[in-house]
Structures are given as C-alpha cells and as structure tokens.
C-alpha cells in the first residue's frame, strides 16, 4: 500500500508551519512502517534490466527475407529471348569486322616477313662482301636467307592461307623464286643482270600485298 503525504501550496497563513508539521508526521509514519524510506534511485530499474535481459535479441528478419527474395529472383523467358537476340545481332555485326582485321594482320605480317628477309640478305651481302640470296617457295611458303654455297642464315615461313605469286625473279633453284644481292647492295637476277621490275605478290581473301624489287630498292604496295 502506497501512502503519499502531499500538501497543496497556496497563500495560506501559517503555510510553513503546516508543511513542517506534515513533514514530521510523514517521517514518523515511515519510521513506524516496514517499508524502507524512499531513495533517489528508481525501484523499478532492476526489474527493467532483468526484463530486458530476458527479451530475445533483435533479428534482421526483414533483411533476411529481402536477401532470400533477391536470391530467388531469376529471368523471365522474354528477358532471356531479348538478351539472346541482342547478343546474336552484336555477333552478326562484329564477327565479319573481326575476321577482316585478322585477315589484314596476317597479310601485313607475311609481307613484312618477306621484306625483312630481303633486307637481311642485302645487309649480309654487304657485310660479308659476298653474294647472298633470298629464296621463297610459293608452294610450301617457306623462305630462307642463304649464301651461294647453300648455308642458311635465316629460315622462316608464311601463313598457310597466303597465296604466293612471283614475277621476274631468279628461278634457278627448283621450286623457288630468288633475289640475289651482291656486295654493292643491289639485286640481281639469274644472269647477274640488275633486277629492275621483280615482285612477290601475297594474296589473302581478295587483299594483296606486293613486295617490289627494283634498282632503287625494296618497297611494298597494297591493293
């Protein structure tokens, strides 16, 4: 049972005396009762803490439910069809262009190989002060830089899809077309005559690269 001792304030004569009397009576009553005197700390605090400790920890039920729903998401048949259609269109546009790039790179690389082989033969002829030849087999597409005695200095090959044709070159070696370089750095044909209009033409998928051998030097043309 809770008994409170209160006093309304107001402009009553002898208010202080009345408040003192009531305070004394309340103190006397608390002293006679079995209840402890009120303190500043709330009595309900331990019970609140105990109750709070018994409550289950908060869970992320909404987050777990959201994550589960996201994990269960998929694509519809219409979305799949649209995606595949776009991929097919991109492939149809990109594959021919990509194939064209591959073809061009193969052709340019092969032409550069032939040109570099001829330059090597020319440099070796000047350095060794002797005759060096560059020879290419149009069938096997193998090329080599070799001395007049047949000693190989450098050997290489072109891509198997490259078609090779030649004109006005030395054909004294079976199945080969050759360009001979002497110590003066100039190119000669079989009869030791200056080569003025020789060529090796490489073709792939309708594109061509021609390595021209003339008195003035070596150069590549495309068509």
Looking at residues 66-81, what average pLDDT do you find? 69
Distance CA 86, CA 88 (A): 5
Question: Which CA distances in Å does 93 have to 10, 38, 81, 89, 100?
Answer: 97, 89, 18, 6, 12
Distance CA 123, CA 163 (A): 27
pLDDT above 90 for 157 = yes
In whole numbers, what is the pLDDT of the chain averaged over residues? 76
Q: What pLDDT digit, counting tens, does each position of 158-203 carry?
A: 999 999 999 999 888 899 999 999 999 999 887 778 888 899 999 9
User: CB-side exposure of 140: number of CA atoms within 13 Å?
Assistant: 13
* Residue indicated by tokens 């068509």: 223
Residue partners of 173: CB distance under 8 A and separation at least 6 = 135
Token pair of 34, please? 């079995």
Distance CA 18, CA 2 (A): 22
Q: Is 161 helix (H, G, I), strand (E, B) or coil?
A: coil
Looking at residues 47-71, what average pLDDT do you find? 52
Token pair of 189, please? 């044909």
- In the CATH hierarchy, which fold is given to the domain comprising 102-222? minor pseudopilin epsh fold (3.55.40)
Looking at residues 73-99, what average pLDDT do you find? 79
Phi then psi dihedrals of residue 136, to 5 deg: -135, 135
Question: Beta partners for 144?
Answer: 135, 155
Q: Select from 76, 118, 106, 85 the least CA-distant residue to 217.
A: 118
Q: What pLDDT digit, counting tens, does each position of 104-130 carry?
A: 899 999 999 999 999 999 999 999 999
Residue extents of the structural domains in the chain: 102-222
Question: Which CA distances in Å does 61 have to 52, 67, 68, 71, 223?
Answer: 20, 10, 10, 15, 71
Token pair of 12, please? 């009553």
């Amino acid at each position: 049972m809770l008994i409170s001792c209160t006093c309304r304030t107001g402009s009553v004569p002898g208010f202080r005396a009345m408040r003192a009397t009531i305070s004394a009576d309340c103190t006397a009553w608390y002293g006679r009762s079995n209840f402890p005197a009120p303190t500043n700390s709330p009595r309900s605090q331990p019970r609140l803490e105990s109750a709070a400790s018994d409550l289950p920890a908060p869970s992320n039920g909404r987050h777990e439910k959201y994550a589960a729903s996201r994990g269960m998401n998929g694509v519809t048949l219409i979305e799949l069809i649209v995606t595949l259609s776009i991929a097919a269109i991109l492939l149809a546009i990109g594959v021919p262009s990509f194939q064209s790039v591959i073809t061009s790179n193969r052709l340019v690389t092969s032409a550069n190989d032939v040109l570099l082989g001829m330059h090597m033969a020319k440099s070796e002829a000047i350095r060794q002060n002797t005759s060096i030849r560059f020879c290419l087999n149009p069938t096997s597409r193998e090329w080599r830089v070799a001395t007049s005695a047949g000693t190989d200095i450098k050997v290489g090959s072109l891509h198997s899809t490259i078609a090779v044709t030649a004109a006005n070159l030395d054909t004294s070696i079976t199945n080969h077309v050759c360009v001979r370089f002497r110590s003066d750095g100039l190119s000669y044909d079989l009869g030791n005559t200056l080569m003025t209009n020789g060529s090796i033409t490489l073709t792939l998928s309708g594109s061509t690269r021609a390595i021209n051998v003339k008195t003035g030097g070596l150069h590549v043309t495309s068509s």
